[in-house]
């Protein structure tokens, strides 16, 4: 139903109501449509008056819907009135009403009221991150940066993840402001991005850029750039952090992989204790490897070809300069079949070490173990994103470590046709990144990777564009 | 002229519409040219200008008045709100806001609600309770309606005064029970064992255990009613485990009279290892025929968050043979996980035991999960597909490709 365009009399509402299909929910539907069509507030008021007069009461549900309309149109005095009425009628309010009230009031000149409401919410539940967002934005809009940061830290302490909007707001509203404390806070936000491997999007990056440029008397120079594969910044010639983990991080990751990924809740789910022990012995006798290859993954690179030939090509491609290779596979590869020819398998085994797991075992877990055991220089080859194994890790910090290690050590192979005449195809290596793709600083330089589009969702893609900031 | 038109339209919308709708005239079809009726309405509209008479804030007065006494009460009360009462208040407000929240909630449920670790878990739990309440209410209503109808028919019947003559005393239900029990008792001596592995309790949440037991109850009843029942074993069954508590909830005192074998021993201790086959969807081996000499094991587990490999791991640890149902072979699978509920497994196994007919047995797989039956086994379909492909491409091309691949690998090895 189309809501009317001006206030109606009681009889007129009655008529409308009777003509409606199900009169019991008429008011609700009407209010929903008013919110959708952004009807004038007087129309809603006239309906409320009609309801109040005929029932002697207005239900909470309708009040919230009316509140939504008021918030949508920024009618501050009405929002306050509704709040007063709700407070009289009900002991406590629920989150929906609080969300609306905080949102509505924080955008008005009565934004301090939103803060008191936030305190009220805290008494009955943990406020949502959008509650905090509204309050923080309101405080920073009125230049109360201390208050805004206080709220921000409170939010982090409650394990809420701030929206990128809030973080951006800090940079927007601090533009041109001076103060060591303030600067420290904003650097803190940048380090938060670093710790959680968050990449700002383009508009956020611009806010960061403008803020740096605006700090009075500090002379920051900013440039957008692409980082070379070597990890050298072309603007300031600064070498980015490499992707290696520290000794402690590396050991931690290795232990967690063994504990969470390979053993998990039950060692039998992915392998068996005997098999894992055999593998451990096998690896220890031949350490260290330079490259560990997921044989089955590589063998499926080109489906037209025989699988063992795919693997053969890959091994040949990687077996340069006396690199020590380990190929992981499953036992069924040894049975002479149409895809796995015995002669070719034999030949490969001269060039690389092979380990064949049981057919029902997970070879990926072995891949991770062998690579980590070989040391930091060792790389592994698979197109698999290893998401399921990352998910087995129990805390987000280790997962971040895993991602970082993966970025630095995974080689993906791509098949491509070189010349048109002959069907000669070669593998192209997609190299592991040598530098670490996170927000980073040396004190007088900052390098911030950013996403070009607003929502690049793929977690495996790392941005190639950077913001280079240096102090002259 | 145009502005006048707009004004007309507005008036039509605001005041005539309800009138028109009442008489079944659709809004879009309403002819603007009907000046007669329009002018009539215009007059009406002018006679009472709404904005003059309407007090738009009248509702506020209504809401504020007559509540002053209550306010003083609530203030004193709110000071001594316990955590439980506070949760109850929040629930009440959510209900008023139109969320999926049950009307009545017990103390115990309220506690589980408060123990939920996250907001979404709370929401989910409340929705579950809400739906449960709704179903219960509907069932109750239906029962009452049925009773009324029965009373009505009874009255009619009593008017006619007719009595039926039969040679049997009407004791169908208990007679059937006795017959079923006799059969199950026989199966406990001579029947083929079927093992339910009850060792998954710590892999499941409370609700998953409850669902498991429900499915087991259904399986047991369908086994009891079958022509040739299995001898059901519950192995690895611990007394006063969650399973046990839930079973007591379902069966009450009948639990101790059930004609099944319940033991805390493992199936490997009860039966010879080489006779056991663990049925799991993760098994690489596919079941071809139903073997009457083997003892099949079904894991009593409901996994809502698909935990792959849990039951396969158990079989691997004990070194047992495993098997999966040949679902792919006989059904064109559509959606859903390949793991079936315990009662579906029971139906399938019973049918296999009686007939050995896969098609008949797999009728018990839920229809939403597959598109239809495969007429021929899949490998035959694949053969014809390959045949078509080779005919299409021409056999020669394939040979050339193979030849080339061989040469290429030789070249590489020579390097």
Q: Smallest Cβ distance to B97: which of A60, A124, A266?
A: A60
**B67 Cβ neighbours under 8 A, 6+ residues apart:** A88, A89
Res. B379: pLDDT tops 80: no
The DSSP code for A289 is: P
For the stretch A75-111, pLDDT in tens is 899 999 999 989 888 888 888 999 999 999 999 988 9
CA B391/CA A43 separation, integer angstroms? 74
pLDDT at position B11 is 47
Q: Which domain holds residue B206?
A: 192-327+336-367
For the stretch A164-184, pLDDT in tens is 999 999 999 998 888 888 999
| End-to-end Cα, chain A, rounded Å | 64
How many CA atoms does the CB half-sphere of A190 hold within 13 Å? 26
**B68 Cβ neighbours under 8 A, 6+ residues apart:** none
State the pTM of this model.
0.76
CATH number of the domain at B214, please. 3.40.1280.30
Q: How confident is the model at residue B44 (pLDDT cuts 50, 70, 90)?
A: very low
**A161 Cβ neighbours under 8 A, 6+ residues apart:** A129
Res. B20: pLDDT tops 90: no
| B382 part of a folded domain | no
Nearest C-alpha in B relative to A346: B413
Q: Smallest Cβ distance to A15: which of B18, B51, B314?
A: B18
CA B336/CA A369 separation, integer angstroms? 33
CA A116/CA B279 separation, integer angstroms? 60
Res. B170: pLDDT tops 50: yes
pLDDT at position A1 is 76
Report the phi/psi class of residue B52: left, alpha or beta, with left for phi > 0 and alpha for psi in -120 to 50: alpha
Residue contact A312–B71, C-beta within 8 A: no
- Domains of chain A, by residue range, sit at 163-241+441-471, 247-429
Q: What's chain B's average pLDDT?
A: 78
Does ipTM top 0.95?
no
Res. B4: pLDDT tops 70: no
CA B102/CA B126 separation, integer angstroms? 7
Phi and psi angles of residue B396, each rounded to the nearest 5 degrees, phi first: -60, -45
CA A29/CA A33 separation, integer angstroms? 6
CA B212/CA B189 separation, integer angstroms? 27
What number of C-beta contacts closer than 8 Å exist between A and B?
144
| B223 part of a folded domain | yes
Q: Smallest Cβ distance to A52: which of B14, B62, B404?
A: B62
pLDDT at position B27 is 42
pLDDT at position A141 is 92
Reply yes or no on domain A247-429 having CATH 3.50.50.60. no
Res. B74: pLDDT tops 90: no
CB A340 within 8 A of CB A308: yes
Per the structure, the count of domains in chain B is 1
In a 3-state reduction of DSSP, which class is residue B235? strand
pLDDT at position A158 is 92
For residue A352, cis peptide bond before it (omega within 30 degrees of 0): no
Residues of chain A with pLDDT under 70: 321, 416-432, 454-460
Residue contact B412–A316, C-beta within 8 A: yes
The more confident residue out of B232 and B41 is B232
Residues of B with Cβ-Cβ distance to A316 under 8 angstroms: 412, 415
Q: How confident is the model at residue B415 (pLDDT cuts 50, 70, 90)?
A: very low
pLDDT at position A429 is 59
Q: With residue A28 as reference, give the H or E element that holds it.
A: helix A26-37
pLDDT at position A139 is 94
């Amino acid at each position: 139903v189309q809501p009317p365009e001006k206030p109606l009399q009681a009889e007129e509402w009655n008529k409308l109501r009777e003509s409606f299909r199900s009169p019991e929910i008429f008011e609700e539907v009407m209010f929903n449509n008013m919110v959708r069509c952004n009807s004038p507030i007087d129309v809603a008021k006239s309906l409320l008056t009609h309801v109040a007069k005929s029932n002697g009461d207005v239900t909470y549900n309708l009040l919230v819907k009316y509140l939504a309309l008021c918030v949508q149109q920024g009618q501050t005095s009405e929002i306050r009135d509704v709040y007063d009425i709700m407070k009289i009628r009900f002991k406590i309010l629920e989150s929906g009403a609080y969300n609306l009230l905080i949102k509505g009031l924080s955008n008005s000149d009565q934004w301090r009221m939103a803060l008191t409401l936030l305190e009220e919410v805290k008494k009955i539940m943990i406020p949502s991150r959008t509650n905090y967002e509204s309050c923080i934005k309101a405080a920073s809009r009125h230049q109360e940066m201390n208050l805004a940061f206080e709220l921000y830290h409170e939010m982090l302490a409650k394990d809420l993840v701030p929206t990128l909007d809030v973080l951006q707001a800090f940079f927007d509203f601090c533009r041109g402001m001076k103060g060591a404390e303030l600067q420290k806070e904003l650097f803190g936000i940048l380090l938060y991005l670093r710790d959680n491997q968050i990449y700002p999007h383009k508009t956020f990056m611009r806010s960061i850029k403008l803020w740096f440029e605006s700090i009075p008397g500090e002379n920051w120079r900013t440039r957008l750039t692409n980082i070379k594969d070597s990890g050298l910044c072309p603007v300031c010639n600064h070498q980015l952090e490499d992707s290696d983990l520290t000794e402690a991080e590396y050991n931690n990751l290795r232990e967690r992989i063994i504990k969470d990924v390979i053993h998990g809740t039950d060692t039998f789910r992915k392998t068996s204790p005997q098999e894992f022990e055999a593998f451990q012995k096998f690896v220890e006798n031949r350490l260290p490897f330079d490259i560990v290859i997921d044989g089955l993954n590589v063998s499926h690179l080109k489906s037209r070809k025989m699988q063992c030939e795919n693997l053969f090509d890959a091994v040949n491609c990687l077996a340069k300069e006396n690199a020590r290779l380990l190929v992981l596979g499953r036992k069924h590869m040894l049975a002479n079949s149409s895809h796995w020819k015995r002669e070719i398998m034999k030949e490969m085994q001269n060039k690389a070490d092979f380990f064949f797991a049981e057919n029902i075992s997970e070879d990926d877990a072995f891949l991770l173990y062998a690579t980590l055991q070989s040391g930091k220089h060792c790389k592994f080859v698979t197109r698999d994103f290893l998401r399921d194994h990352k998910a087995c890790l129990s805390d987000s910090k280790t997962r971040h470590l895993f991602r970082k290690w993966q970025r630095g050590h995974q080689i993906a192979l791509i098949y491509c046709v070189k010349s048109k005449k002959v069907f000669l195809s070669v593998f192209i290596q997609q190299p592991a990144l040598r530098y670490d793709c996170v927000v980073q600083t040396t004190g007088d330089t900052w390098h911030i990777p950013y996403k070009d589009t607003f929502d690049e969702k793929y977690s495996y893609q790392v941005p190639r564009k950077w913001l280079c900031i240096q102090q002259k | 002229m145009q502005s006048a038109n707009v004004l007309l339209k507005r008036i039509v919308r605001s005041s005539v519409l309800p009138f028109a709708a009442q008489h079944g005239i659709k809004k879009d079809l309403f002819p603007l040219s009907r000046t007669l009726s329009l002018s009539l309405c215009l007059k009406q509209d002018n006679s009472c200008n709404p904005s003059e008479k309407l007090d738009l804030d009248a509702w506020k007065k209504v809401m504020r008045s007559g509540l002053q006494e209550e306010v003083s009460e609530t203030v004193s009360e709110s000071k001594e709100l316990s955590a439980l009462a506070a949760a109850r208040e929040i629930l009440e407000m959510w209900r008023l806001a139109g969320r999926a929240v049950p009307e009545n909630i017990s103390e115990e449920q309220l506690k589980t609600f408060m123990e939920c670790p996250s907001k979404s878990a709370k929401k989910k739990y409340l929705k579950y309770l809400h739906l449960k309440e709704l179903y219960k209410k509907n069932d109750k209503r239906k029962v009452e309606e049925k009773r009324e109808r029965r009373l009505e028919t009874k009255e009619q019947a009593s008017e006619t005064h007719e009595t039926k003559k039969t040679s049997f005393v009407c004791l169908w239900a208990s007679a059937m029970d006795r017959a079923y029990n006799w059969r199950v008792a026989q199966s406990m001596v001579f029947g083929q064992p079927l093992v339910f592995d009850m060792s998954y309790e710590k892999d499941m949440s409370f609700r998953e255990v409850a669902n498991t037991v429900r499915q087991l109850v259904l399986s047991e009843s369908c086994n009891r009613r079958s022509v040739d029942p299995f001898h059901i074993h519950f192995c690895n069954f611990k007394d006063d485990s969650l399973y046990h508590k839930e079973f007591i909830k379902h069966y009450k005192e009948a639990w101790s009279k059930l004609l099944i074998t319940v033991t805390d021993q493992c199936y490997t201790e009860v039966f010879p290892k080489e006779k056991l086959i663990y049925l799991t969807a993760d098994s690489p081996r596919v079941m071809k025929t139903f073997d009457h000499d083997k003892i099949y094991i079904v894991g009593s587990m409901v996994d809502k968050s698909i935990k792959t490999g849990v039951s396969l791991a158990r079989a691997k640890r004990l070194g047992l043979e495993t098997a999966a149902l040949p679902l792919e072979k006989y059904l064109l699978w559509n959606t859903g996980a390949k793991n079936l509920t315990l009662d579906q497994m029971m139906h399938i196994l019973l049918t296999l035991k009686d007939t050995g007919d896969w098609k008949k047995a797999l009728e018990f797989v839920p229809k939403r999960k597959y598109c239809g039956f495969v007429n021929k086994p899949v490998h035959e379909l694949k053969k014809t597909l390959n045949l078509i492909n080779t005919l299409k491409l021409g056999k020669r091309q394939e040979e050339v490709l193979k030849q080339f691949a061989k040469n290429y690998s030789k070249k590489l090895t020579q390097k």
